Chains A and B, each alone.
Chain A
Amino acid sequence: ETGVTQTPRHLVMGMTNKKSLKCEQHLGHNAMYWYKQSAKKPLELMFVYNFKEQTENNSVPSRFSPECPNSSHLFLHLHTLQPEDSALYLCASSQTLTQPDTQYFGPGTRLTVL
């Protein structure tokens, strides 16, 4: 349960606030991901990082800004969000991107935008 950690676990913010979500993985993996999980919708892949380099951005609005300073840490910077951005934000990691690989999820950050 401690392989992938996320902080904070819960966050309430106004539309004009700036906040950051943090993810850390202790599995020695090289790839990290951000997902958005909304009620009654499939998990949506937002960003993919491999060896600190962003390899995928699935048409995510610019009010979400990822940062990956090293292979163990991943941030999601939030600014001027909308109420429809309220969701559970999940971080995941996997060993590699070069072959299909299991992704391990963190516990998520429950975000509420007022």
Chain B
Amino acid sequence: GENVEQHPSTLSVQEGDSAVIKCTYSDSASNYFPWYKQELGKRPQLIIDIRSNVGEKKDQRIAVTLNKTAKHFSLHITETQPEDSAVYFCAASILSDMRFGAGTRLTVKP
């Protein structure tokens, strides 16, 4: 089955800096890659996603890149703000079978 590795497990940045979180997956058949943000005590919420026919997608300060050949994808957050502090999860899926990374705890220091 699919195996998703996520790094780093914790990330601390200064407000205004960029943050990058990387994930790798094992099953080349995976074709959908969402990123979720989970604030303390709250549900995971989708922040951006990318499908396997696209290499890059951007939404304001958030961007995701996908390298199908290398089987890795990354989340980029620019101009970080304290409210970006949360746990971020990547996932890779084939239809309903969605496998998640272990999460990255991002702390943005004011």
Could you list which residues of chain A lie within 8 angstroms of chain B, going by C-beta atoms? 4, 31, 33, 40-43, 45, 48, 50, 55-56, 90, 94, 97-108
Contacts and interface: CB of A to CB of B under 8 A. Distances in A.
A42 B43 contact: no
A102 B48 CA distance: 10
> Taking chain B's interface residues, is the majority helix, strand, or loop, or is none over half, making it mixed?
strand
A42 to B, nearest CB: 4
Interface centre among B96, B101, B102 (most CB of A within 10 A): B96
Contact of A90 (B43, B93, B95, B97): B43
Given A94-B96, A100-B51, 18 more contacts: A33-B96, A41-B102, A42-B4, A42-B101, A43-B44, A43-B91, A43-B100, A55-B96, A56-B96, A100-B31, A100-B32, A100-B94, A103-B34, A105-B36, A105-B43, A105-B45, A106-B43, A107-B42
A101 B91 CA distance: 12
Interface of B: 4, 31-32, 34, 36, 42-46, 49, 51, 89, 91, 93-103
